[in-house]
Structures are given as C-alpha cells and as structure tokens.
Chain A
Amino acid sequence: MTTETASPTSETEPIVRTVDAGRPRRMSSWRRQQLAGWLFLAPAIAYVLFAFALPIVYNVMLSFEHTSPATISDFTAPWAGLANYRFIYHDPTSREAIVHTLVFTVGSLAAQFLIGFSLALLFSLRFPGRTVGRSLVIVPWLLPLIVTGVIFRFMFQAEGGAINQVLIDVGIIHHPTQWLNDPSLAMWTILVANIWLGVPFFTLLLYSALQDVPAEVREAAIIDGASPWQRLRLVIVPIILPVIEVTLLLGFVFTVKVFDLVIGLTGGGPANATQLITTWSYNLSFQVFSFGEGAALNNVLLVMALVAAPLYLWLSRDSLRRSSGGAR
C-alpha cells in the first residue's frame, strides 16, 4: 500500500485512512470467505474422492489380485502380480475387444463429424422450418442408451426389420440380410446405431460454433470472391477449430465408454464380433466373476480414455484458470 508515499493533497488523505482502517477487517473477512469456500466445496471433494478416486485406485489394486467369487466379500485378495495382465494379453477375445473398440471409435467419430458438420451447416442457412428442425435433431441424444440399443435390434432384424425392408423395397438387396447373426456384418449395426446417437451432439455444438463466426468475416470472404468451399475451408473451419477439437475429443470420450447400446443391440455377439472392451470387461467381472481380469482390462480402457485428458485440460485452460471472485 502507498501509505508512506501519500501525496500531501487533501483528497488522498481520507482514502489512505480508509485502507488502513479497513485492513484488519478485510483480513478476517478474507479468512471467513476462505472457510466458506472450503465448506461449499467439501461435499464435492468428498464425492469425487469417494466415487472417482477410490474406484480408480481400487481398480488398479484389483488388477494385481487373484480374485474369485469367494473374495468378493473381502476388500483384498491374494497378490497376483501381472497374471491378470498376462491373461488379457493372451486372451483372444480381449485382444479382439481392443481392436473392435478402436475400429468402433474411429468409424463412429469420422461419420458423426461429417454428418454432424453437414447438418450444422445446413441449419445455419435460412430456410423455412429451420428452428423446428434444429430442436428435433437432439431427440436421439435424450433416449436412454439401452432403449436405443433395443430399437436398433428391432430394426436390424432379418425378418420383419425395417432396415431390410427398406433395402429390399428399394432394390438394393433381394434377400433379408442377417445383420445380427453374421459376425462380419454385426459391427455395422453397432456403428450405425452409435453414429445415429452421436450426430445430434456434433450438430448442436458445431451449429452453435458457426453462429459465433462474425458475419463481417463471412461477408468479407464473399466480397473477395472466395467460393463456398474456399470460405468453408479457409475461413470458417479455422475460426471454429477450437470447438471442432473439443467436440471430437468429447465424442471420443463418449464412444470409448459405450456399453448399454451394445448390450441392448447385440450383447457383444454373434461370436464376440461386437465385443468391445466395456462389454467384455463386464463379462469377465460380472459373468465369470473374475474381477481381477476385468479390472486389468478396465485399466487398458482407462489408459486409452485418459490419453484424451491432457488435451482436454489444455483445451479447457482458459476456463480452468478463470476466476471472477469478488474475494481477494
């Protein structure tokens, strides 16, 4: 504070006095506010420790233990070293599940992004019915995932399924396709269902990003004679790139986790053709009661998902550091 250097003018005098008089009170109010802040945060910190930190740590512990149905009621089981990880490494279904998860994730993201971006561009044009259309686009996002799974199981049935019926009526195929019973085709069913499910998210986020592109920038590009494709590639995409990155990142996180949809649609079958890490881990833990092996596979998934963490934190860096607190 500037008490010593205070100029002798009459206006500064009272201000300096106020600061000095206020100092002890401020200190106590600062303390009071810190205490209040901690109290407001306490339930959240307790919850995060209990529902996220504890399970993650415990999952790592489990993956090094020899579990059996008998050890479930105990908190710990005998040490197993790397046996569970060795099992995952040699288990053909686990390896397939990892490959399937990668294929499923990359395929879903590519299609969701292309379709979602096209719809976002479409809805940012002016035409009758755009508002109603935009609000209906989010419908798939709101359904319970298990319901989406069973709807697509219904539609992909060979006999009496809507999809075969359309394909036959249009003349693309002549005999019902065994979508759900043919191991080489089943991956398409979960891909189609997941793409359908994720498009609204991409559409909505990219649409709102497009709204934030300043009109002057777009107009300037038109005046400069840029073609629509050039405008998109050279002007619009660079501006909304941060949103594209966040959207792809969150899309990745959602897709790696998918479980309900596959259980409802194929149950991981036929012949494990649609077994993902999540569904196979469920099988290992809750069907075979081999929690250690399930936990080891979970950790593979966790590492895959957490690849996104540093990027996510970096993309959120502005919001992270931000604080508009009145308290100093």
Chain B
Amino acid sequence: MSRLERSRALRLLCTLAAIAALIVILFPVYAIVVGSFESTETLFSGTFYWLPHAATLDNYRTVLGGASAATQETVSGSQTGNILTSLLVGLGTAVLALVVAVPAAYALSKYRMRVTVVVVSSLLVAQIVPSIVLATSLFIVFHWVHLVNSYLGLILADGTYAIPFAILVLRAFFFSLPNELIDAARVDGASEWKTFYLVVVPLARSAVITVAVFAFLAGWGDFIFALTMLNGSGIQPVTLGIYNYLGNYSTDWGAVMASGVIALVPAGILLVVAQRYIASGLTAGSVKG
C-alpha cells in the first residue's frame, strides 16, 4: 500500500469510528423520539421497533390535551401549562443569574479588592455542594419565609445551578477585556456604573449570552428543586410532569415519551441557534475559569 492509500484508509477508519460513536451517543435521543410517535399498543407490545410502527400523534394529543390514552382519564393535567411554567422558571433563572453574576464578575476581575480571593474561593466551593443538601434545608427555610410553592422560591433555588458558574465564566471573559477601554471611559468622566453598563456590558455580549443560555437550560431542566419545593400547588414544570406520568405502579409510556421530547425542544433549538455559545460555555466554565 502506498503512503497516500494508507492515509486515505486511516481517514476512512476514523470516520467510521466517529460514526459508530455518534450512533451510540445519539441513539437514546432517537429512541425517545420514535417512542413518542408509537401507539400505546405498540409501546406495550414487548417489541421495540427501530422505525416508527404505525406512527400516531396520540401521545402528543394526550400530553397537550390532558387525557391519558392509557387510562382514559386525566392523570396529572396537561403539559401545556407546564411548558409555560418551565419557560417562566428558565427565563427567571436566566434573569436572576445575569443580574447577580454580570456585575459581580466585573468587580471580581477589574477591581482590585481584598475580598476577591475569598469570594472566588467560595464560588468554587459552592459549585461542589450537592443540590440535595441545599434542597433539604431550603425546603424548611422556604417553608418558614413562605417561599415554598412559589415561582420566586423555585427560581431562587435554581439559581444555585447557574450563578457560581455564571460568575466564573464571565470573570474569565472580563480578564480578556483591555483595561484601557475602561480607563478611557473613566477619563471621559463616565461614572463607575455608566462605564459598566455602557462600555463593559455591550462588549461582553457573547459571554452574557452563553451564561444566559446555560442558566435557562438549568432552570428548564431542574427536577430536584421542583420535586422538593412544589407540592401540589398547581405550579408544575415539565420535568415534574414527566415524573408524575411515570407513576408508582404503571408507567404511561406514551405520555412519558411525548413530554420527554417536549422537554428536549429548548436544548435542541439552542444547540442549533447558539451552538457557538454552548461549546464555549462548556469549556470556559471549568478550565479557564
């Protein structure tokens, strides 16, 4: 074999290996999408069909309309309202994360303060704390200050996923902004606040979007705080709806699959429209922070 042929064969081999890996990586997502279009009879037939078998929209009708195809009765309400709830919680988490994190990250990168080391260390440690630890205590604390069963309480709790990450990512980004820009604004007589929101924030747009995307996904996908903070109050995000469809004894697979697919939609959209921000956020958060 010539050198050229050998390198060509190697490339082909790499492509094949990558395809095999991607099939394994993407198959579960494919399985839930296919499953969501199957009828209840097919889902309980004991056979998995690689391609949709007698595709139907029944599951989506069930989930969006509120009646369970399996039991012919309303299981836990429709997911339509839950989608709005999840959107609201996701957006609320994103707004909270930005309001808290953008100014903090600016102070931690561009101001020389004694507390910087302490605050950044606390944020690094905060990332380590398991959510179940926070959920147990926050449930009682929230009970006490009447934040259980409220959007505000849930968003405040969901902020724990997003805020330390957001501050560390934004701080790493702010280091790359030249100090001259900030000094120039100050020399021109801008106040500290004006320098921040007229000069710094617009320049940080891409990092701000990255952080907002991740905070939104954290709020949208949260399950543990929804499970512990909300108990039958009417506020129910999609993730909790899926859990309720699972049931204790029998699972309404059609409804679970269809609401699972619905829960994937924002991640799917963001993967297409905000790919650049997602990839940069995943790496920036851990290594360069």
Contacts and interface: CB of A to CB of B under 8 A. Distances in A.
Interface stretch (B55-63, B73-81, B137-145): B137-145
A139 B201 CA distance: 30
> Looking at chain B's contact residues, is the secondary structure mostly helix, strand, loop, or mixed?
helix
B4 interface: no
Contacts of B288: 319
Nearest to A197: B28
Contacts of B156: 50-51
B278 to A, nearest CB: 7
A152 B27 CA distance: 11
Contacts of B242: 146-147, 150, 264
Interface string B250-262: 0101001100100
B32 A147 contact: yes
A154 B256 CA distance: 10
Interface in B13-36: 14-15, 17-19, 21-22, 24-29, 31-32, 35
Contact of B18 (A33, A36, A133, A150): A133
Interface string B240-284: 001100100001010011001001100100110001001100110
Interface in B117-135: 117, 119-135
Interface string A167-203: 0000000000000000000000000000010011100
A40 B159 contact: no
Contact of B116 (A52, A294, A309, A323): A323
B249 to A, nearest CB: 12
A205 B283 contact: yes
Nearest to A55: B137
B100 interface: yes
A56 interface: yes
B270 A208 contact: no
A162 interface: yes
Contacts of B264: 143-144, 147
Interface stretch (B45-53, B64-72, B202-210): B45-53
Nearest to A251: B286
B159 A123 contact: no
A142 B136 contact: no
Given A160-B43, A259-B224, A291 B132 contact: no
7 contacts: A44-B100, A44-B119, A154-B35, A161-B48, A282-B135, A305-B128, A324-B179
Given A140-B28, A306-B125, 8 more contacts: A55-B133, A147-B242, A147-B263, A159-B46, A162-B31, A196-B24, A208-B283, A313-B125
